Structures are given as structure tokens and as C-alpha cells.
């Protein structure tokens, strides 16, 4: 079969499977990404119809675009008031959870190296692997919480934690790659790099979001509103990277500011003629793009599963290990809070790894670090294993926690209800009513006119 024809058929099948998966998710709460991963595995390692290495060159770019789209969709739906209430606990959960997970993964890899499964493995390699797999995936958790209609406080807690640990994984892994490749970095420089990335990203995201709020007013209901918004997102991500910040965190900050534009204007005692924010058209188009990109990415994860099989089994074992280490982190982060036992269980099973780990797994070999040639197989197996655990456990424990009235519809920063008319809109209404009155008078006059 012609490669182009095969590619078109694969993409068509993936999109159809994605639609079916989302429909099943709404009914069963089993994440739709599991079906996509299974489809990728069927196309790649099982049947060999698609060679995953054909796409390897475009992984970094595709991963960056995926992260931009998904984080913007999730971040723009976070209500700022609720987010600020969740931020301290989310930060505690992110740091403690990441440290415990990274330590567990590093220890497991050193044990595997002792039995010969990981040749040329060192403590530095172990710390690098722990850094990659230390954090949960916002790409899986945010959409899952939204579709399942989980209570806002709980959704904000695990959603913000996943966004923070995405950034922790990226920064710490890059620092360890630099240590292993050159030996130039020190612990102090790694901490300084982490602070710089977080500071630059958050500052840039907030500033860019505040500057974009007036643009939302200008492009409101404009046919090109979404392309301009997407261009702004890509620009913010690229600029954050150029300035030494974390692009993912910058996008999250930008999304939160833009998604809460009305609340921020009210806080600053500024008034707009009408509601300022992302209109329904922009949200609808972005939701479709998010669906397409997510479907393709997790199918690619399935494609990348493959030999050596012992490392694949090791990755699944590490996935199982990551579950119990989350319990103490969740307990410490939710102490003296309103979260009950079922809510803590939901937070504990929210451990799926995803895109950040998968992309980072391809970097050590490219940097020439020995012993990392088969690292993607190990990491992708762990990603799949954690998603499987989440897919089985999440539907079981979610039923016992409060849910939103309409799952998938998170409240926005402004209260629901009809938008009050502006002065210009009132004038337009008055003019239309006057025109209708004149037309009615003219028709009545024509009816009484003998010539008519």
C-alpha cells in the first residue's frame, strides 16, 4: 500500500477511535488514552504496519505543540479564586510527590542494574531516570478531571500539581543530562537553573496574559480570533525557552490569566463594555485541536512500545511502585484540609506519566550518554503502566467523591447568566425598535390608503 494512503487511513482510524474513546470515558470513566495507546501498539510492535522511527525526528516539535494546546485548554478553565486556594497544597504535593517518586524510581533502577538489566548504569543515570518519571502528566489528568466532573478543589489540586511536576521533570532531567554529558553542572547550579526557569516562566506568562486581555476585546467574535490566540501561545512558549524559562509553565500562567480576564479586571476596578475573555468560538476550535493532537500523541506512545522486553517489564514494575509512594505525599499535602478519604484516594491514584517523560527519554542518547540507548522503551512502558493503573483505579474511587452538576463544564471566572447589555448595545436595540415602529406605522397607513 502506498505510504501516503496508509498514513491517511491510520490518522482517520485514530480520530474515529478517539471519538469512541471519549464517549466510553464519559460512561465508564476509563481514560480514552488507553484505547489510543492500544491502537498504537497494534500498529507498531504487534503488526509492524507502521515504523515509529519514521516520526522520531519530529518528536520535540510535536511534543511542544501538544503541551501548548493541552495546558492552555486546562489552564484557561481554572477559576483563579479556587486556584489560589489550592496553590499552597498543590505545591507541597508536587515537591514531596516528585521527590518520593524520583527516589523510588532511582532505587529500583539501581537494583535492576545490580542484576544486569541496565548495563553501564550509575547513580547519575538513576537520578536522571527518577527525574524523568517523578511527576504526573497534566496531559492526562486535566482532561480526565474535567470530563469526570470532579469537585473543583480536588481537580485544581491534582491539575496544578501535574503542571508543576511537568516543569520539575524537565528542569531536573536537563540538569542531570548536563552532569552526565559534561560533568559541568553542580547541585547549586541545578537549583539556580530551576529557580530561573520557574521565575522567568511565571513572570512571562502573567505579563503576556495581561497584555493579551485587551486583544481579546479587539478580536471578540472575529473569524481569525483563534489563529491569533494560537500564534500568541506558540510565541509565549518559544520566548520562554529563549529567555531560559520553562515553556509549559509559561503557557499555564498565560492561560490562567486569560481565562480569568473578567475577574482580574474587576479586581483592578476596571470596567469593560462587555464580558472579556475567550469566546465560545475560540474555545470550541481549541477543543477540537486538543482532541486531534492528544489522539495522535498517545497513539505514538503505543507505537514506541517494543524490545528489549525485559526493560518493558521493568518499566511496568516501576509503574506499580509509583502508586504506594504517592500515599504519604497526598496525606502530607492534605493534612488539616476538607479533603476526606475518598478525595485523598482520587489524588493518590492520579499518578499517570505522559508526554514530558516520553520526550525527555529520547534526549540522553542524543546527548551521547552511554547506557541510554534503550531508555525510551523503559520510560514508555512506565508511562503506559501508570496510565493503566489510573484507568482502572480512577473510575472506582471517583464515584465516592462530589461531582459537578454538569461534568465537563467547569464554572468560569464570572457567574453564569445572561451578559448585561453595554451602552452601545442598548442604543442598537433602541434604534431597531424605532425602525420596527416606523415600518408598522407605514404598513397601517398603506392599508387605509384608497390607492392601495
CA angle 112, 167, 158 (to 5 degrees): 90
Query: For the purposes of burial, counting CB atoms within 10 Å of the CB of 433, is it exposed (0-12), middle (13-18) or buried (19 or more)?
Result: exposed
Does residue 308 have a cis bond before it (omega within 30 degrees)?
A: yes
The three three-digit cell numbers of residue 229, written as one number: 490566540
The closest alpha carbon to 143, from 272, 280, 244, 290, belongs to: 290
Q: What is the pLDDT of residues 154-173, one digit of tens each?
A: 888 888 888 788 778 877 88
User: What is the pLDDT, as a whole number, of residue 189?
Assistant: 64
Which of helix, strand or coil describes residue 150? strand
Q: What is the model's pLDDT at position 271?
A: 58
Helical segments of 334-372, H only: 341-349, 355-360, 363-366
What pLDDT score does 382 carry? 93
Model pLDDT, residue 444? 57
Residue 51 has a pLDDT of: 76
Q: Which three cell numbers stand for residue 240?
A: 520562554
Angle between helices 80-114 and 152-182 (to 10 degrees): 40
CA 45 to chain centre: 27
Longest Cα–Cα distance of the chain, Å, equals: 108
**pLDDT in the model for residue 446:** 56
Q: Which residue(s) pair with 150 in the sheet?
A: 403
Say what the pLDDT of residue 427 is: 41
Q: What is the pLDDT of residue 407?
A: 46
Residue 297's pLDDT is 80
**In whole angstroms, what is the distance from residue 205 CA to residue 250 CA?**
4
Task: Give the span between the Cα atoms of 424 and 389, in whole angstroms.
Answer: 55
C-alpha cell at 17: 477511535
Pseudo-torsion of CA 302, 303, 307, 312, nearest 10°?
A: -10
CA distances from 63 to 248, 280, 364 (A): 11, 26, 17
> How many residues are recorded in the chain?
452
Q: How far apart are CA 74 and CA 6, in angstroms?
A: 33
Q: Which three cell numbers stand for residue 343?
A: 478525595
- With beta carbons less than 8 A apart as the criterion, state whether 273 and 424 touch: yes
pLDDT at 236: 92
Residue 25 and residue 147 in contact, taking contact as beta carbons nearer than 8 Å = yes
Contact call for residues 371 and 118 (beta carbons, < 8 A): yes
Which pTM was predicted?
A: 0.72
Residue 88's pLDDT is what?
A: 86
pLDDT of residue 306: 72
CA dihedral 290, 318, 107, 101 (to 10 degrees): 40
Q: What would the grid cell of residue 415 be?
A: 457567574
Mean pLDDT by 10 residues, the chain (452 residues): 78 88 77 84 81 69 76 73 77 92 94 89 91 86 78 84 81 78 61 75 90 81 82 91 82 85 71 60 81 83 79 92 94 87 89 82 82 86 92 83 50 41 43 56 56 50
Instruction: Set out the domains of the chain in order of their start, with CATH numbers.
Output: 3-420 (1.20.1530.20)
User: Reduced to 3 states, what is the DSSP secondary structure of residue 92?
Assistant: helix
pLDDT at res. 413: 40
- Give the Cα separation of 230 and 142 in Å (integer): 19
Amino acid at each position: 500500500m502506498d505510504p501516503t494512503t496508509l498514513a491517511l487511513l491510520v490518522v482517520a482510524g485514530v480520530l474515529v477511535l478517539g471519538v469512541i474513546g471519549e464517549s466510553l470515558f464519559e460512561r465508564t470513566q476509563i481514560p480514552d488514552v488507553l484505547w489510543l495507546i492500544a491502537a498504537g501498539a497494534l500498529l507498531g510492535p504487534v503488526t509492524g504496519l507502521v515504523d515509529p522511527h519514521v516520526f522520531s525526528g519530529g518528536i520535540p516539535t510535536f511534543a511542544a505543540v501538544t503541551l501548548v494546546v493541552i495546558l492552555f485548554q486546562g489552564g484557561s478553565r481554572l477559576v483563579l479564586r479556587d486556584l489560589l486556594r489550592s496553590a499552597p497544597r498543590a505545591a507541597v504535593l508536587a515537591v514531596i510527590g516528585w521527590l518520593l517518586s524520583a527516589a523510588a524510581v532511582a532505587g529500583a533502577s539501581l537494583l535492576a542494574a545490580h542484576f544486569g538489566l541496565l548495563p553501564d548504569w550509575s547513580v547519575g543515570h538513576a537520578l536522571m531516570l527518577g527525574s524523568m518519571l517523578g511527576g504526573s502528566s497534566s496531559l492526562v489528568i486535566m482532561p480526565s478531571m474535567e470530563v469526570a466532573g470532579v469537585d473543583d478543589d480536588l481537580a485544581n489540586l491534582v491539575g496544578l500539581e501535574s503542571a508543576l511536576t511537568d516543569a520539575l521533570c524537565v528542569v531536573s532531567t536537563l540538569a542531570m543530562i548536563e552532569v552526565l554529558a559534561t560533568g559541568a553542572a553542580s547541585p547549586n547550579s541545578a537549583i539556580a537553573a530551576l529557580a530561573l526557569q520557574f521565575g522567568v516562566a511565571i513572570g512571562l506568562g502573567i505579563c503576556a496574559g495581561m497584555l493579551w486581555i485587551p486583544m481579546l476585546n479587539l478580536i471578540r467574535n472575529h473569524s481569525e480570533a483563534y489563529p491569533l490566540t494560537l500564534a500568541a501561545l506558540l510565541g509565549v512558549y518559544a520566548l520562554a525557552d529563549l529567555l531560559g524559562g520553562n515553556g509549559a509553565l509559561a503557557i499555564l500562567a498565560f492561560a490562567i490569566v486569560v481565562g480569568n480576564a473578567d475577574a482580574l479586571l474587576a479586581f483592578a476596578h476596571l470596567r469593560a463594555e462587555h464580558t472579556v475573555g475567550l469566546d465560545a468560538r475560540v474555545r470550541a476550535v481549541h477543543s477540537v485541536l486538543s482532541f486531534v493532537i492528544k489522539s495522535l500523541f498517545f497513539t505514538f506512545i503505543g507505537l514506541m512500545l517494543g524490545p528489549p522486553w525485559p526493560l518493558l517489564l521493568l518499566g511496568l514494575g516501576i509503574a506499580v511502585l509509583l502508586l504506594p509512594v504517592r500515599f504519604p505525599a497526598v496525606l502530607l499535602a492534605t493534612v488539616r484540609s476538607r479533603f476526606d478519604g475518598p478525595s485523598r484516594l482520587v489524588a493518590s491514584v492520579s499518578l499517570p506519566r505522559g508526554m514530558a517523560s516520553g520526550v525527555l527519554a529520547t534526549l540522553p542518547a542524543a546527548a551521547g550518554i552511554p547506557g541510554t540507548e534503550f531508555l525510551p522503551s523503559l520510560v514508555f512502558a512506565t508511562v503506559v503502566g501508570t496510565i493503566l493503573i489510573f484507568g482502572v483505579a480512577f473510575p472506582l474511587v471517583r464515584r465516592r467523591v462530589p461531582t459537578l452538576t454538569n461534568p465537563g463544564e467547569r464554572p468560569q471566572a464570572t457567574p453564569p447568566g445572561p451578559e448585561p447589555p453595554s451602552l452601545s448595545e442598548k442604543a442598537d436595540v433602541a434604534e431597531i425598535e424605532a425602525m420596527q415602529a416606523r415600518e408598522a406605522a407605514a404598513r397601517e397607513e398603506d392599508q387605509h390608503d384608497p390607492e392601495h
